[in-house]
């Protein structure tokens, strides 16, 4: 049994296979519906934080594949408070065939996996967002027809999304540049992990957004203030004020460049309306691909 906790746990071959599966499942869905390969199976979904895309994509994905999903919100099971993570995991293992969890502390999702007899999926932790990265690479391949050799530039916080994005870039041969303010850089350990996955991609950690965006095929950004960082909001908005994807920055990128954002977007902060709704934006194709990418993860782990 395999969990989907971190992209470093998976081989590039397996992840590339999973993306081809996502494309097949999407085609099957568009051609009249998915076969019920998860018929009679249930996914338990634990959320310690809010969600739109992750919740809906896993819930709808399970239903399309013949199964069910159960939502357990922050106030319902009290993960690690009302009941220990070990006990929650063992109870759920007797009732559902897969667990998806969105947590603050990454150790909570690994603890769930440690005790589970069923696959556990990381639906975002403070450290990583591997499900998002799968939808991101699917969107990149949809647009360019391939991934190897492309240049992606991420503008902003070296956060959970930026980290998983670097690992997926390593697996899929995409060169990765990030521009972050001082104090908010990508951790060196993630860079080392990415180099271990694929020593052939270029990884650049910069502070200057104009330099980072130069000639990029893909510009990507995420919120300046992640869930759980609300107390730091004022300080962060100040530190990140120059780290915005706007029309002027987009002009530095390749003329054919696309703009990506995992969403929710804080318009006027990390991205302008003009760019988010402009012709180079693939934001809503990227969001829709969460459904197809998540189905491939579910089928790989649970069928
Ligand atoms: N991108 C993403 O994970 O969105 P939600 O927080 O709405 O699930
Ligand atoms: N970095 C953001 C991603 C939201 C999907 C957060 O953790 O809140």
The tens-digit pLDDT sequence of the chain (303 residues) is 899 999 999 999 999 999 999 999 999 999 999 999 999 999 999 999 999 999 999 999 999 999 999 999 988 888 888 999 999 999 999 999 999 999 999 999 999 999 999 999 999 999 999 999 999 999 999 999 999 999 999 999 999 999 999 999 999 999 999 999 999 999 999 999 999 999 999 999 999 999 999 999 999 999 999 999 999 999 999 999 999 999 999 999 999 999 999 999 999 999 999 999 999 999 999 999 999 999 999 999 999
Are 119 and 210 contained in the same domain? no
- Is the distance from CB of 112 to CB of 88 less than 8 angstroms? yes
**Which ligand 2 atom minimizes the distance to the CA of 263?**
5
For residue 75, the model assigns a pLDDT of 87
Whether residue 94 lies inside any domain: the answer is yes
Alpha carbon 273 to its chain's center: 22
Residue 199 Cα, ligand 1 centroid: separation in angstroms? 30
Are 112 and 101 contained in the same domain? yes
Are 278 and 148 contained in the same domain? yes
SS3 category, 90? helix
- Boundaries of domain holding 233: 132-286
For residue 1, the model assigns a pLDDT of 81
Could you tell me which of 116, 119, 147, 117 has the C-alpha nearest to residue 134?
A: 147
Residue 49 Cα, ligand 1 centroid: separation in angstroms? 10
Are 123 and 140 contained in the same domain? no
Are 282 and 251 contained in the same domain? yes
- Is the distance from CB of 179 to CB of 153 less than 8 angstroms? yes
Nearest CA to ligand 2 atom 1: 226
CATH number assigned to the domain comprising residue 11 = 3.40.50.1370
What is d(CA 13, CA 41) in angstroms, rounded to the nearest whole number? Answer: 27
Are 98 and 188 contained in the same domain? no
Whether residue 1 lies inside any domain: the answer is no
Residue 149 region by backbone torsions, left for phi larger than 0, else alpha for psi between -120 and 50, else beta: left
Are 101 and 159 contained in the same domain? no
Are 116 and 146 contained in the same domain? no
SS3 category, 32? coil
For residue 127, the model assigns a pLDDT of 98
Are 294 and 252 contained in the same domain? no
Give, for ligand 1, the residue of 59, 74, 164, 264 to mutate: max count of ligand atoms closer than 8 Å to Cβ. 264
Are 145 and 278 contained in the same domain? yes
**Which ligand 1 atom minimizes the distance to the CA of 287?**
1
Whether residue 2 lies inside any domain: the answer is no
**Strands in 222-264 per DSSP E:** 258-261
Nearest CA to ligand 1 atom 2: 53
- Is the distance from CB of 88 to CB of 77 less than 8 angstroms? yes
Give how far Cα 175 sits from Cα of 77, 171, 180, Å.
Answer: 41, 11, 17
Nearest CA to ligand 2 atom 2: 226
Q: What are phi and psi of 172, to 5 degrees?
A: -110, 15
- Sequence-ordered list of residues with C-beta below 8 angstroms from that of 290, at least 6 positions apart, any chain: 53, 54, 57, 131, 132, 135
Residue 157 Cα, ligand 2 centroid: separation in angstroms? 10
Are 119 and 41 contained in the same domain? yes
Are 119 and 136 contained in the same domain? no
Ligand 1, CB within 6 Å, residue ranges: 51-54, 124, 132, 262-263
Provide the domain count of the chain.
2
Residue 50 Cα, ligand 2 centroid: separation in angstroms? 10
SS3 category, 110? helix
Whether residue 36 lies inside any domain: the answer is yes
For residue 252, the model assigns a pLDDT of 98
**Which ligand 2 atom minimizes the distance to the CA of 160?**
1
């Amino acid at each position: 049994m395999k969990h989907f906790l971190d992209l470093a746990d998976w081989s590039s071959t397996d992840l590339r296979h999973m993306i081809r599966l996502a494309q097949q499942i999407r085609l099957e869905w568009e051609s009249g519906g998915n076969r019920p390969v998860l018929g009679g199976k249930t996914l338990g979904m634990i959320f310690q934080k809010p969600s739109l895309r992750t919740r809906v994509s896993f819930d709808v994905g399970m239903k399309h594949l013949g199964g069910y999903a159960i939502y357990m919100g922050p106030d319902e099971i009290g993960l690690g408070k009302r009941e220990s993570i070990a006990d929650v995991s063992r109870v759920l293992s007797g009732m559902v065939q897969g667990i998806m969890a969105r947590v603050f502390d990454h150790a909570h999702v690994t603890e769930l996996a440690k005790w589970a007899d069923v696959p556990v999926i990381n639906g975002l932790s403070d450290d990583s967002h591997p499900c998002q990265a799968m939808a991101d690479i699917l969107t990149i391949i949809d647009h360019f027809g391939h991934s190897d050799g492309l240049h992606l530039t991420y503008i902003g916080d070296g956060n959970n999304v930026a980290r998983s994005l670097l690992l997926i870039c390593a697996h899929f041969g995409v060169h990765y540049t990030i521009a972050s303010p001082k104090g908010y850089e990508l951790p060196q350990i993630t860079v080392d992990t990415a180099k271990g996955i694929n020593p052939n991609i270029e990884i650049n950690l910069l502070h200057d957004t104009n330099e980072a965006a130069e000639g990029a095929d893909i510009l990507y950004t995420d919120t300046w203030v992640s869930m759980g960082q609300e107390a730091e909001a004022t300080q962060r908005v100040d530190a990140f004020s120059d780290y915005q994807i706007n029309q002027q920055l987009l002009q530095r990128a390749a003329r054919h460049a696309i703009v990506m954002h995992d969403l929710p977007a804080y318009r006027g902060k990390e991205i302008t309306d003009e760019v988010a709704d402009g012709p180079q934006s693939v934001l809503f194709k990227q969001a829709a691909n969460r459904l197809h990418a998540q189905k491939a993860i579910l089928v790989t782990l649970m069928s």
